[in-house]
Amino acid sequence: MTNVDQWPHLYDAGTPDSPVLLLLHGTGGTEHDLLQLAQRLAPQAGYLAPRGPVQEQGMNRWFRRFGEGKFDVDDVVRRAGQLADFIEWARGNYGLGERKVIAVGFSNGANIALATVLLHPQALTDVVAFSGMYPLGDRSFDGDLSGTAVALFNGEADAMAPLTSVTQLKSVLDNAGSDVHQAVREGGHGVHPTEVDAAATWIGSRTAPAAR
């Protein structure tokens, strides 16, 4: 994929005053995977659901890796830039105006969402990350994320997204000025129903009209 306007994706406008959920599937998924989750999170919201552009043994992914948990960080950076460009293209193409775009990612999708808010906060300010981790490997981060908000949902026994990396991620976000909500549950990789409820509440809090 060279042009963001040729990126395979699904779009639904939702109601005019609602946010648009940027749905980012996990490894081996498609743009259809998180549609039911979106309905549970914010039924009135619009959605923008692209397909991961990288192929790994026939599976769609968002960036390359050298092995389990060993990311190709140069590719992470490149693909985060592409996703930021896609968001900006979609804003213009679909006339989103000032509607809030909230990324909702699972696993590999959570990681590309996190990389995008870290590296391109002008394009993406809000992220719900299910089973995500710090996406930039051993690289440090010193950007300014004031004005961004991230909700982290992880399992304490998740071998694919170890808590050591999640702890590093939260520290990076906190130090950069992001508004971070974190919830750690029992169990491993996945999306638990209690996390869906909490994420729906968080999304509502991020999109409620300001009191006058």
**Residues with catalytic roles:** 107, 158, 189
Pick from 178, 33, 173: which is nearest to 107 by CA?
33
* Contact criterion met (CB below 8 Å) for 137 and 71: yes
d(C-alpha 20, C-alpha 128), whole Å: 13
d(C-alpha 40, C-alpha 200), whole Å: 7
> Any bridge partners for residue 46, and if so which?
20
Rg (CA), the chain: 16
The pair of three-digit structure tokens given for residue 15, joined into one six-digit string:
């109601």
